[in-house]
Structures are given as C-alpha cells and as structure tokens.
Amino acid sequence: MALLVIASCQLMVVLDITIVNIALPHIQSALDFSTTSLSWVVNAYTLTFGGLLLLGGRAGDILGRRRVFIFGVLLFVLASLLGGLAQNSGQLLGARALQGVGGAIASPTALALISTTFREGPERNRAFGVFAAVSAGGGAIGLLAGGILVEYLNWRWVLFVNVPIGLLIALATPRWIKESERHPGRFDIAGALTSTAGMVLLVYGFIRAAQDGWRDAFTLASFAGAVLILATFVLIERRSRQPITPLHMFADRNRAGTYGIMLCLAAAIFGMFFFLTLFVQGVLGFSPLQAGLAFLPVTAVIAVGAGLASRFLPVYGPKPFMVVGAILAAAGLSWLTLTDVHSTYAGSVLGPMLVFSMGMGMEFVSLTLMALSNVPTPETGAASGLLNATQQVGGSLGLSILVTMYGTASTNEAETQIPAFLQQATPAERLRFQRTGQLPKPWSDEILTAGVSAAFIMAAIFTAIAALVALFVIQVRPSDLERLKGGAGPGPV
C-alpha cells in the first residue's frame, strides 16, 4: 500500500507533463498561443519542477519526508484547480509554474521514501522497477487520459482531474507511510533561485531564436544572462556549507554519467511526445481520443522493458541495459525522421515508437538504481532530487532546442510552400491567408512535417550521445552487483 501511494503520486506528477500535450491544439486556439510559444505550456511546468526539485528533496531530509510529501501534493492540487479555471495565457502559465513547484516538492520525496521504506536488494529493486515504469509510462498514460478528457469534456479537465486524485493521495499517506527521521540542515534558497532563473533564461533564448532568429538582441541577452546566472549558481554551491546541489556527487564517475544520460534521454522523450502529438492530430487528422489511443502501446512496451531490466539487473548489472536502451531509443527516433505527409500511423509511427519505448523502459530502471547506488541515507533526498532535476531540466532544455530546430526547418519549408500556394489559390483563399497568416492543407502539412522531421533528427543525436556516455563512462563494480543481489557489499559512509 505504501508503494501504491508513492507510485500514484509519481504517476500524477509525471502524467501531468504529457496529459496537457493532447490538449495543446485546443489550448492554442482557446488562448491564442503560437506554435513555438505553445511549448511554454509544457516548459512553465517542467522548468519550475526541475529547478526546485533539489530544494524539494532537501526539504524532505530536513522537515520529514511524509510531511513535505503531503504539502507538495496539496499544492499541486491547488495549482491544478487554478489552471483549469484560467481565462488567459498568463493565468494558465502561472498555474502551470505553480504546479511545477508542487511537483518539485512531492516527487523527490516520493523517490526518497522508497529508499527508506524498502530494504536494499530484490525488494527495493522491485519497488524501483514499479517507480521507474510509472515514471516512464506515465507520459503515455497521460496522453490517453488527455485524449479521453478533451474528447468528451474539454481541455480544462486535463487539469481538473488532478484535484480528486491528489486529495485521495494526501488522505491515504498518513495511514500507510511512516514519517522519516529528520536531519538538521539549512535551505539553499539562493542556489534554488539562481538555478531556476538560469534555466528559464536559457530555454527562453532557444525558443526566442526559433521565433526571431539567432541575431535578435533579446535572444543574445537571454543566453548571456543564462550563462552569468548559472555561473553564479555554481559559485554559490561551491561556497555553501549545505548546497542544494552537492557538487561532490558529480565526483562519482557513474553518478555523473547517469545524470548526463538522463539529460539526453529526457530531451528525446519530451520531444517525441510533443511533436508526435502535433503530427498525428495536425497531419494524420486524429481526434484527441484517437491520438491518446495511438500512444497506448507505449505504456505496455515501457513496462516490458522496465520489467526485463529490473529482473536481470542483478545478473548483468545496469550498464548493458543503459547502452542497449539508448541504442534502441536512437534507432526509433532515426526511424521517425522518415515521416512525411504521406505517412500512416501503422506504417510510419507505431513501429519506431515501440522500439523507442522498449529502450526507454530499460533505461529508467537502470538510471534510477545507478543514481542512488552507494548514497548515504541523509543525502538520498538530494540524490533523488538531482536525478529528477536532470530529467525535467533536460526535458525542458531539450524541448526548447528541438523547438528551435522545428522553427528553423518549418520557416525554410514555408519559403517553398507559400509561393506554391499563391500560384494555385483562389482570391478568397489569398485573402484568408493575408488575414490569418495560416496556410490551408496540404501546404500546412508540408511545413509541419518538415519541422517535425528536423526535430527528430536532433532528438536522435541526443540519444546517440547517451549511448556513448553509457558505453565509455559507466563502470559497474563487483560490489554494485553484490548490492543488487541483496548482499551487503561496502555500504555508504
């Protein structure tokens, strides 16, 4: 029951990253977002989520993980209610950012509760397997749930649905989860704020570049500000007695490699869900429910990959699954680059999506175990928070880079498609284009497909980098295998 409560919270938090994706076309028309600015509906959540995860993990260590867990869930519920009631783009983005704060408090605490609730060995391996499957598969479940809610209700219910779920989790937690021991410490507020602000500016720079070009003054100023603030963040962490990001964790070769792999893979999976959602609804003409059902096989295959990894990790160690998983993800994304306006779901989308999903299922279990291996108990919250932070920050940063690739490629394609349209358009169609700036089908499909294909090329590069890091950086020691089998092995000090 404790695992059910913890996994349900993680499912709610992860699901919310993608449940909104299905509703993006409806949100875009209802609140007047452009295609590139639409990514902020995702990034407003993931940036505050990733930027404050480390603070959330530290709060659990200092104040008690169960108490902090419940507070984070309730804050998430409040933000979801406000988002569902939003009347303009600013209100929606503000609510999404507040959702990220609630998720940042609840999610790392949930992962740390697994480390302290279940014994090291097979029992904890199974718990991590469930948690990782939920973390990886929750995205696909969110797409299905989003499709059902948008189809039969409206886009606001992708936010309202969190309210009853969160309240049930908050009520069940005191009954099934024990309070953890408190560890004295301080909150590194300056570190949390500078890391979040730096990443927001960095992501804004990439999205601005997609809209206004790399020479735009605001684009260059955003990148310069991001570098300055992130450098300040590193200085703060080096001088702090209790930093929000313990830099000594990066001294461990395996843990540093794990964080690097997570950055790359998160960029890929965020991009796949975002752009495939636009493709199947915009080009293939799927309804929200059909789009949600189209992603349902992802959940099953991720669960299979996670199950295989958690079962055979004690025998082979995590490295083979990290390497093979990244290679499979790269192969699936490379396959997706071949999509065009004549593609079909069965012939061009389903196959590569399943290959990608099998790789991601293997990856998330292996990465979770490797990141928390040999970590002292007082630092499990910080370690789990750092892993989650790299996932969310990598997803936000990666999606902004992919949006830049999309914007550049679609703009170039538009230069070809607009003259072709004007040659064949009727006077009424030309007038409508001058008024709205939107091309009708099939010209708009050509532009969207060109941008999506370019984004998948960059996503495939991210996963290829992850495979190289797994192959050449990760080293599994005999003591690591001993702990995975439930043996003592040298423990953390």
* Residues, the chain: 493
Q: Could you read off the pLDDT of 17-44 as tens digits, one per residue?
A: 778 878 888 888 788 777 667 777 877 8
Question: pLDDT at position 493, please?
Answer: 30
Residues of the chain with pLDDT under 70: 35-36, 111-112, 115-116, 119-121, 135-137, 139-140, 178-185, 210, 375-382, 384-385, 477-493
Question: pLDDT at position 487, please?
Answer: 47
Question: pLDDT at position 474, please?
Answer: 84
Question: pLDDT at position 43, please?
Answer: 78
Q: Could you read off the pLDDT of 321-342 as tens digits, one per residue?
A: 999 999 999 999 999 999 888 8
Question: pLDDT at position 292, please?
Answer: 83
Question: pLDDT at position 353, please?
Answer: 92
Question: pLDDT at position 491, please?
Answer: 37
Question: pLDDT at position 457, please?
Answer: 94
